[in-house]
Amino acid sequence: MSETIYKQIAEEANGAKIIRADLAVELKITDSIEVSRLAWEAYNHYGKDQQIKSTFVNNDSQTSIVDDYELRQLITADNKEGYFDALSTDLKNGENALTVSTIC
């Protein structure tokens, strides 16, 4: 089943921004964390496909749901160093790291 969903996510990834809620409708999944997890897994499954990462954004269109879920994974694993490294990278890249960090 996951392979089918990964393929569907990859096919939807066209570079235009698609919010998590719209992806949830396409996947027929109501749990936003599940939608983010599946996008993150598809991203990794396809070799960290940047098209997937850049297409799917959180509902305020500010950050990638792949990045959001990656931070969630680092927090869950109590990987503080990895978490702060990711936030530092966001700051260096000019992204709104403070918005991203509110998922905690």
Query: Per-residue pLDDT tens for 21-40?
Result: 999 999 999 999 999 999 99
Q: How many CB atoms lie within 10 A of CB 32?
A: 16
What are residue 18's phi and psi, to 5 degrees?
-125, 125
Q: What would the mean pLDDT of 71-82 be, rounded to a whole number?
A: 70
* pLDDT greater than 50 at residue 51: yes
pLDDT computed for residue 45 by the predictor: 96
Per the prediction, the chain carries an average pLDDT of 82
The residues, any chain, with a CB within 8 Å of residue 101's CB and separated by 6 or more, are 71, 87
pLDDT computed for residue 70 by the predictor: 85
pLDDT computed for residue 76 by the predictor: 72
Give 80's pLDDT tier (boundaries 50, 70, 90).
low
Give 42's pLDDT tier (boundaries 50, 70, 90).
very high
